[in-house]
Structure 1
C-alpha cells in the first residue's frame, strides 16, 4: 500500500528534497542514515527516513537537527532550496524570494519584513546594540549602526569577529561582490598587512 502523502508547505517540501539529495550525494543508504541517527541518540528507522523523503511524514525541529548532524550538513542547507543566489523560490510564509535573501534570513542577516538592523541584532542576541540603534534613530542623529561579521573556519574550528559601529570599512567590493583582501584586525589597529 502506498504511503499517504501529508500536505507540506514550501519549506517542508524543500527540507524533504534536500534530505534526500544530501543522503544520495553521500551515497548513504536509508539504513546507514538510520544508524547514524541512532548513534546521535534520536533513532529514526529507515522507514521513517523514507517517509520523510517521500513527503508522507513531516520533519519537526528535533528531526531537522538530528538529520543535519547525521548528514554532517548545516541546517540552513536543508531549509533553503538549492539554486543560484538570484533564483526566485517560495518558502512557507513568503511567495517569492531569492535564494540569497532566504539564506540570509535563515542565517539571521536579513529581515524579510523590512526591520533592518534590528532584525540582525535580535537574531544574533546582540540586544544591547539593538537598544543603542533604536536610541540613535529616535534621537535623529542621522547615523544608523552597521554590523559586520567576519568568519574564518577550517570546518572544525570557527573564529568570528563582529564589528558594530557607524561608517565601518567595506569588506566586499561593491562591483564584483567579492571579498576585499585585507586583515580587518590589523586595519582597525592601524597596521599594514604588508601588501601596500
Structure 2
C-alpha cells in the first residue's frame, strides 16, 4: 500500500470512529454467524450417520439433531441480518458525516475555485465520491469480518479433526495461490496475442 493510500484510509477510518460500537457488534455477530454456518454441516453429517440403510433410520436420534439444526440455521440467519444492519448503520452514518464535513469545507473555499468549475460539478463529485466510499465501507466491513472469521473458524474445525492435514492445507494454500498468480501473469500476455 502506498503512502497516499495509507493516509486516505486513516482519514476514512477517523470518520468511522464514532460508530465503533456498531463495528464491534458487527464483528461479534460475524463470529456467531460463522460459527453457526460452520456447525450446520457437522449436524447434517451426524444426521446422515443415523440413516443406516433404506428402512433402517434412527428417528429417535435424528429428531434432536434436526431440531438443533433448525435452531442453528435460525441463529445464523438472525445474526447475519443483524450484522448487515450494524454494517449499514456504520457505513451510512460515516458517509453522512463525510458529506457534512465536505459541505462545510465547500462553504470556506474561495469564490474563484467555485467559479472555475461547472455549476453542480463540485457537488456531484462530492456526492458520488462519498457514495463510493460508503459502498466500499459497507462491502468491506461485511466481507472482511465474515471472510476472516470463516477462514479462522474453518482452520479451527479442521485442526480439531486432524492437525496434520490442517498444517498441510495451511502451507499449501498460499503456495497454490502464488503458483496460480505466477501462471496467470505469465500467460496473460500470450493470451492477448491470440
* Shared fold per TM-score greater than 0.5: no
**Higher helix residue share:** 2
What TM-score does the superposition give when structure 2 sets the normalisation length? 0.21
**Higher strand residue share:** 1
Query: Relative contact order (C-alpha < 8 Å, sep 6+): which is higher?
Result: 2
What TM-score does the superposition give when structure 1 sets the normalisation length? 0.20
